Amino acid sequence: MQKLLAAGLFMLCFGIGYSQPTFHVGGFGAIGDGHTDDSQAFLKAWKQLCEAGGTGRPTLEIPASTTFLLKPTLFQGPCNSNDLHLQHPILLVNGMAIEIAGYASVMLMVSSLKDLEQSMAEAVHFHNCNNLQITGISLVNSPKSHISINQCTGVSISRIQINSPCDSPNTDGIDISSSTNLDIQHSIIKTGDDCIAINTGSSFINITGVACGPGHGISVGSLGEDGADDRVEEVHVRDCNFSRTQNGARIKTFRGGSGYARKISFEQITLIDSKNPIIIDQHYTNDGRRESSSAVKVSDVTYSGVQGTSAEEQAITLNCSDEIGCFNIKMKKIKISSSVPGKKTHAYCNNAHGTSTLTTPNVPCLLRLDKFTV
């Protein structure tokens, strides 16, 4: 299974030339003007790459700073070379741009027809991979999630750009599930849904230097839907900007679920005219489970150095369930003012426990530490 996936990634992503045999995508008729459909050329190149055997690492060279237009394409294995395995690091040429324009989508590997159906509408779907690097790509107007990462370990994403309209539904920028050790850096995400969504089974995720907006923020969840036991921990978001987003730092869990969202931090965050800059909603509900008293536990969440403007007066929402509550919520150096001149911001909280230091607006359910130290 991994073999197939690796092969797919290799196809689009690989470009270093130290190994043999090497194929040049131009040699298969790819034009790379951003308008001509290069899918068939890539497919031909893929076939050769996949059939290449021997001891070398078959390599496809993709020129830097070139935009290829790819339509929905299935790059399928199995391939002959073991070195297409994802156990080996996959590298990308720095600065390479693969642009997926219009409402086209590219499928980078599926291991079965079932996977294919499931991921049909995602622009780039990585499933069951190790040591994946994605850098320097642009994705435009995906019909669904732009990049989805599922069951991967060791993923580095940097300098990518995602650009879809703010009113395009279900177009998450990066969707993460069942994956661990991810590092996302220096990227620009403009979309109609979450810029980054972190779903169950995910842990040790660093997100640094991401500009989000428009979009629905960086979200942990939704977790616990339909009574699921969902778990997310060690998510660290730093040096990120939210510009005119519907949410900023968001944790969202369904009533009736179980599991946890814990050890999460949002630090050095700049907000420009964002709605719901800080929000924990622990009893998101879909009608059937109103009566349920269980919930996904939310704890050990730190917000530090969050500043800027909120489009709503309610800038902070900690809406935790009456039965379970949220614990060890820490706020430090928070300053969120209203983007409407003359308006003040306020915080709402229900059954959230923790501390605040130098936090504006004041969050009534957190113990104010600065009150005692002035």
Ligand X SMILES: *[C@@H]1O[C@H](CO)[C@@H](O)[C@H](O)[C@H]1NC(C)=O
Q: Mind telling me the catalytic residues?
A: 193, 216
Q: Which two tokens stand for residue 363?
A: 């969050």
**In this complex, which beta carbon is closest to ligand X, that of residue 6 or of residue 240?**
240
Rounded CA-CA distance 245/199 in Å is 20
Binding to ligand X in span 194-213, by CB under 6 A: 204, 206, 209-211
| Among residues 37, 61, 183, 312, the one that binds ligand X under rule CB under 6 A | 183
Rounded Cα gap, residues 374 and 355, in angstroms: 16
With binding defined as CB under 6 A, does residue 163 bind ligand X?
A: no
Nearer CB in complex with ligand X: 275/283: 283
Residue 270 binds ligand X, judged by CB under 6 A: yes
DSSP 220: E
Distance CA 79, CA 212 (A): 38
| Contacts of ligand X in 218-257 (CB under 6 A) | 236, 239, 241
State the binding string over 295-324 for ligand X (x if CB under 6 A, else -). Answer: ----------------------x-x-----
* Length of the chain as a residue count: 374
Residue 327 binds ligand X, judged by CB under 6 A: no
Q: Quote the least distance from Cβ 12 to ligand X, whole Å.
A: 23
Residue 81 is a binding residue for ligand X (CB under 6 A): no
Residue choice 125, 252, 283, 297 for contact with ligand X (CB under 6 A): 283
User: Which of 225, 226, 269 lies closest to 247, judged by CA?
Assistant: 269
Contacts with 374 (C-beta within 8 Å, 6 or more apart), sequence order: none
Residue 314 Cβ vs ligand X, minimum distance, rounded to whole Å = 7
Of the candidates 272, 264, 284, the residue with the CA atom closest to the CA atom of residue 248 = 272
Q: How far is the CB of 268 from ligand X (least distance, A)?
A: 9
Sequence-separated (6 or more) residues with CB below 8 Å from residue 114: none
Q: Is 285 in the site for ligand X (CB under 6 A)?
A: yes
Contact 89, 155 (CB under 8 A): no
Angle subtended at Cα 46 by Cα 10 and Cα 107, rounded to the nearest 5 degrees: 65
Query: Residues touching ligand X: how many (CB under 6 A)?
Result: 17
Are residues 56 and 21 in contact, defined by beta-carbon separation less than 8 angstroms? Answer: yes
Binding residues for ligand X restricted to 342-361, rule: CB under 6 A: 348
Pick between residue 262 and residue 283 the one whose CB is nearest to ligand X: 283
Cβ closer to ligand X: 327 or 348?
Answer: 348
Of the candidate residues 118, 181, 337, 357, the single one contacting ligand X (CB under 6 A): 181
In our burial notation (b when 16+ CB lie closer than 10 A, e otherwise), range 225-263 reads beebebbbbbbbbbbbbbbbbbbbbbbbbbbbbbbbbbb
CA-derived radius of gyration, the chain: 22
190 is an interface residue for ligand X by CB under 6 A: no
Q: Please answer whether residues 188 and 211 qualify as being in contact, where contact means their C-beta atoms are separated by less than 8 angstroms.
A: yes
- Binding stretches for ligand X (CB under 6 A): 181-183, 204, 206, 209-211, 236, 239, 241, 270, 283, 285, 317, 319, 348
